[in-house]
Amino acid sequence: MSASIGSPAIRRATFADAHTLSRVSELAFTGTFGHLYSDADLETFLRESYATEAYARFLADPAYACWLVEHDGEAVGYALAGPCGLPHPDVGADDGELKRIYLLPQVQGGGHGERLFQAVIDWLERDGPRTLWIGVWSENHRARRFYARHGFEKAGEYEFIVGSSRDHEFILRRDARQP
């Protein structure tokens, strides 16, 4: 599949998409970060964090939203957003978080990530500007540059746990925009 043939569509995921979100999550996470972990750690993490049941819980909760990117009827990416759960002392009760955003390699680089990101931000700020947060692996320089272009700045650090591995993560924040 080529990113130049057709244009992937972005749509809000529904409860019926829980299994698809789980499958795409596993493909995207494993393809991007799988080499960093032991097989046992990766399998446990995927089973706990990206299970169909986990996505069903998100999709059933109106405080969260998921989007799917589809190309020729096949899911090739997704995003998840909701209340901020990052471990930072300045996180407020009304703050939002882009929790996950992934595109499979065949659709990367065609502006689809930008479109997906904007859909998430629009949803997070649907009731007006608010402080937004993102956690990102410290070595994911491409993502960090992308988020910086959108006004996110480093606000802290934490450890992202995958089995026995502890990844050095940055906490990024964009303060509520002034009217």
Give the residues across from 62 on adjacent strands: none
In a domain, 57, yes or no: yes
In a domain, 25, yes or no: yes
State the average pLDDT for the chain: 90
In a domain, 31, yes or no: yes
- The structural domain count of the chain equals 1
Determine how many CB atoms are found less than 10 A away from the CB of residue 40.
10
Range of the domain at 29: 9-128
Neighbour-count burial for 134-161, b at 16+ CB within 10 Å, e otherwise: bbbbeebeebbebbeeeebeebbeeeee
- Model confidence at 6, pLDDT cuts 50, 70, 90, reads low
The pTM (predicted TM-score) of the whole model is 0.89
Q: How far apart are CA 86 and CA 89, in angstroms?
A: 9
The pLDDT of residue 62 is above 50: yes
The pLDDT of residue 107 is above 80: no
Q: Which residue, among 151, 29, 129, has the nearest Cα to 78 in the 3D structure? A: 29
CATH code for position 35: 3.40.630.30
Query: For residue range 21-48, what is the model confidence (pLDDT) as tens digits?
Result: 999 999 989 888 888 899 999 999 999 8
